[in-house]
Structure 1
Amino acid sequence: MNGPSVSLLGLDPRSVTRDGDTVTASATVDPGHEVFPGHYPGFPVLPGVCLIEYADRSILFDQRRLGRDVELVAVERCRFRDPVFPGDELTLRVDYRGDDAAGLRSDVVVGSGRGRVAELRLVHRTTGTGEPG
């Protein structure tokens, strides 16, 4: 599935890497994307929901490599600390905090060259497709 925010960030699954229970990714915000003239006119900033999708897609790519399909079921915490502008280089760090009947829990930090821009706590659940047997 390709939503506009995925193309907006230019997220490439090859940029998603894993070390233990930590996942990292990087992406550049496309300055020419159609979302910017309307958000906000004269002061373009990336909508916060795009950062949530960036984290979600990074987790999805990581879990698919492990043979699992997951879907986002909850955003337990979401704090946007700084605006994200067209052309910003973003980094993402996912720390998995647990995987049980309640779901795959993760803490996510998104950063730019100016520091942290978002902190998230997400919950994903494994779907039937691709689940390890």
Structure 2
Amino acid sequence: MGGEHAARSLAGEVTMVRAGTPDEAPPHAEATIGISADEPVFDGHYPGFPILPGVCLIECVHRAALGAFPAFLDEKARPRLAAVESARFLDPVYPGELVAMELSWKAVRDDWQCRAVVRNPRGDSARVRLRYTVADA
């Protein structure tokens, strides 16, 4: 096959601004992530008018959700993404922008649902709803 490719994580590190606690109703957390202007995904999405693909915003929410899980759930629990229940994209994220995410959690049967509002510097960029199953470590 072609050359070797190193695995690369999208964007920078997710920074937890505030993690949720069990006594919150519903538990919620806040996180940010910087979207670097040199992300390779911008090369093809779209040439001459780069915007962050929606699937990348879902990945940012997922990473923030994984970072927030231990703050209010058993430390030994391992969350696994079971479904992207919905995603609505409202305004593009451009190269170099800081994305802020507000996540809220709700127990749904034996799973956890994470609802997120993603904001760019101009306002709401996306609303995403993810569902997680939880297994003991």
Question: Do these two structures clear the TM 0.5 threshold for a shared fold by scoring above it?
Answer: yes
Whose helix proportion is higher, 1 or 2? 1
Deviation at 1:41, TM superposition (A): 0.5
Work out the percentage of aligned pairs sharing the same amino acid.
35
Residue of structure 1 equivalent to 2:10? 8
What's the secondary structure of 1:9's corresponding residue? Answer: coil
What's the secondary structure of 1:10's corresponding residue? Answer: coil
Does structure 1 conserve the Cα–Cα contact (< 8 Å) formed by 2:35 and 2:95?
yes
Q: How many equivalent residue pairs?
A: 124
Residue 109 of structure 2 is aligned to residue 97 of structure 1: no
Residue 33 of structure 2 is aligned to residue 32 of structure 1: no
Does structure 1 conserve the Cα–Cα contact (< 8 Å) formed by 2:107 and 2:113?
yes
- TM-score after normalising by structure 1: 0.83
Residue 43 of structure 2 is aligned to residue 41 of structure 1: no
Does structure 2 conserve the Cα–Cα contact (< 8 Å) formed by 1:55 and 1:108?
yes
Change in Cα spacing, 1:72 to 1:119, as seen in structure 2 (3 Å) is: same
Deviation at 1:45, TM superposition (A): 0.6
Separation in structure 2 between the aligned mates of residue 8 and residue 87 of structure 1, nearest angstrom: 13
- TM-score after normalising by structure 2: 0.81
Does structure 1 conserve the Cα–Cα contact (< 8 Å) formed by 2:11 and 2:39?
no
Change in Cα spacing, 1:78 to 1:108, as seen in structure 2 (3 Å) is: same
**For 1:43-93, what per-residue CA distance to the aligned partner results, in whole angstroms no more than 9, with x for missing partners?**
111011111111111111122454121111111111000111001111000
Question: Which of the numbers 96, 102, 118 marks the counterpart of 2:126?
Answer: 118
Does structure 2 conserve the Cα–Cα contact (< 8 Å) formed by 1:28 and 1:87?
yes
Structure 1 residue runs of 4+, over 2 Å off? 14-17
Amino acid at match of 1:86: P
Larger CA Rg, structure 1 vs 2: 2
Separation in structure 1 between the aligned mates of residue 102 and residue 13 of structure 2, nearest angstrom: 14
Residue of structure 2 equivalent to 1:17? 18
